[in-house]
Amino acid sequence: METGSVTTPFGRRSMTLGMLASQVMAGEIKPDQSVDKWKLFRALCEAKPLLGIGDRALAVLNALLSFYPKNELAQGNGLIVFPSNIQLSLRTHGMAEQTVRRHLAALVDAGLLLRKDSPNGKRYVRRDRAGEVDEAFGFSLAPLLARAEEIEQLAAAVMAERLHVQRLRERITLCRRDIAKLIEAAVEEDIPGDWQGLYSEFRDLIEGLPRSPTTAQLELLLDELMGLRTNILNQLEIQVKSTKQRGNADYIERHIQNSNPESTSELEPSFEPKQGAIAEPDNDRGSVTAAKGRGETGHPFPQKEEEQSRRPGVRNDGGGLKSFPLGLVLQACPEILAYGPDGAIRNWRDLMAAAVIVRSMLGVSPSAYEEAANVMGPENAATVMACILERGGHINSAGGYLRGLTRRSEKGEFAIGPMLMALLRANTPAGRKVG
């Protein structure tokens, strides 16, 4: 049985104040105090980062607990276990005896075990005539019982911290998704704003996070991402309100015009001006007429009226595809720069000239490229060629791929925005200069 007396370690092992403190704490265990050893062991596994012990030390402790005959650690059951290192090696699935000794020392240093060494340093037990344990020499589990409440609190703190970090990561993931998709939507809708700069700021925040960030670093990142998201949402909300006000004003104006009893607009069709058209007022009917010319946007290829008039104020090329800013295209597809005049691309004319060179280099037939230019518009066709060049290593047949995109564009199933945003995400760290 435990005597509660202070003992010193056998041999060359020195006595420390930590060992003395553990023995004093063990001597203060209440007679009726008990705890389930496996429940306590699970709490130890949770609290190991705060206790300074590793997985293998816990495996040795698990083996020691398996030699304790009762499920409840209690003073009345005795708290000494005395297996040999060979037995411990077997119960730790063949761990080397030297490793077992090293981890036993680590458990003692962590204040989870006490050595109760015999005069010769051996582990054994003396029993009385009734077969009951009279005195045992080995390792005392008394520190576990004495620190049970502390260990459970540490385990609860570790679990709470883990849950907090998990929630931080979830919120960061949601913020990242929101920011990326909001910027993509703004670019798709041609909303005015420095979206390239905001996207670069976003990528700098994400890439500045260490591989194993601390909780404080995650909290700081979340605050910065939420601030960036709020900034983007404010800009988009201003645009939405502005669009709504313009829509209401247009509706009121149309309502006033349609309320004129002398108006003949119901008898004769009227045409709203499309972007690029030269509109002149018709004083007789109050309608406008669009000038005829090279096409509704000034491109040499005609456009579909229903696609062009879908959203007034947004530039559409052939097939209903929107043109994106040249700077955005070059930031997403920097490889095309080398094929521009003098190794630079300063305007759309330079990009289209570079696209012709790239078309020939990639083996795209003139007819396939001409068809794409007719369907998508020349600027969008050049943009698509730049994207194909950027992903050339992943495309087996550039000509077949371009024809497939052309067919999808004719059906209204293709958009350039997602392709550009994917390449922009891949090439943003490069930070290449345009022109």
Predicted confidence band of residue 160 (pLDDT cuts 50, 70, 90): very high
Whether residue 261 is predicted with pLDDT greater than 60 in this model: the reply is: no
- Residue 237 CB contacts under 8 Å (≥ 6 apart), including other chains: none
Looking at residue 165, its pLDDT comes to 92
Looking at residue 187, its pLDDT comes to 87
DSSP string, 149-213: HHHHHHHHHHHHHHHHHHHHHHHHHHHHHHHHHHHHHHHHTT-SS-HHHHHHHHHHHHHTS-SS-
Residue percentage of the chain with pLDDT more than 90: 26
Predicted confidence band of residue 17 (pLDDT cuts 50, 70, 90): low
Joined together, the tokens standing for residue 210 give 């260490």
Report how far residue 315's alpha carbon sits from residue 296's, in angstroms, rounded to the nearest whole number. Answer: 11
Structure-model confidence comparison of residues 309 and 10, the more confident one: 10
In degrees rounded to 5, what are phi and psi of residue 114? -125, 140
Joined together, the tokens standing for residue 138 give 């080995």
Looking at residue 14, its pLDDT comes to 62
Average pLDDT over residues 148-153: 91
Whether residue 157 is predicted with pLDDT greater than 80 in this model: the reply is: yes
Report how far residue 421's alpha carbon sits from residue 413's, in angstroms, rounded to the nearest whole number. Answer: 17
Tell me how far apart the 2 most distant CA atoms of the chain are, in Å. 126
- Residue 329 CB contacts under 8 Å (≥ 6 apart), including other chains: 351, 383, 386, 420
Looking at residue 323, its pLDDT comes to 73
Tell me whether residue 87 is exposed, middle or buried, using C-beta atoms within 10 angstroms of its C-beta: 0 to 12, 13 to 18, 19 or more: middle
What is the per-residue pLDDT across 395-406, written as a single tens digit (0 to 9) for each? 888 888 999 999
| Residue found by looking up tokens 């909290």 in the block | 219
Structure-model confidence comparison of residues 284 and 428, the more confident one: 428
The neighbouring-strand residues paired with 34 are 74
Three-state secondary structure call for residue 244 = helix
Global pTM?
A: 0.49
Structure-model confidence comparison of residues 329 and 299, the more confident one: 329
What is the per-residue pLDDT across 40-77, written as a single tens digit (0 to 9) for each? 999 999 999 888 889 999 999 999 999 988 888 887 66
Looking at residue 418, its pLDDT comes to 87
Tally Cβ neighbours within 10 Å of residue 269: 7
Three-state secondary structure call for residue 11 = coil
Whether residue 192 is predicted with pLDDT greater than 90 in this model: the reply is: no
Looking at residue 275, its pLDDT comes to 35
Whether residue 273 is predicted with pLDDT greater than 90 in this model: the reply is: no
Work out the angle between the directed axes of helices 366-376 and 378-390 (0-180°, nearest 10): 120
Average of per-residue pLDDT values in the chain = 76
Predicted confidence band of residue 413 (pLDDT cuts 50, 70, 90): confident
3-state helix, strand, coil in the chain (%, to 5): 60, 10, 35
Whether residue 249 is predicted with pLDDT greater than 80 in this model: the reply is: no
Whether residue 264 is predicted with pLDDT greater than 80 in this model: the reply is: no
CB 38 within 8 A of CB 61: no
In degrees rounded to 5, what are phi and psi of residue 72? -100, 120
Whether residue 218 is predicted with pLDDT greater than 90 in this model: the reply is: yes
Three-state secondary structure call for residue 432 = coil
**Amino acid at residue number 68:** Y
Structure-model confidence comparison of residues 11 and 338, the more confident one: 338
Average pLDDT over residues 280-303: 34
Predicted confidence band of residue 284 (pLDDT cuts 50, 70, 90): very low
- Going by C-alpha positions, the residue among 35, 64, 34 that lies closest to residue 138 is 64
Predicted confidence band of residue 221 (pLDDT cuts 50, 70, 90): very high
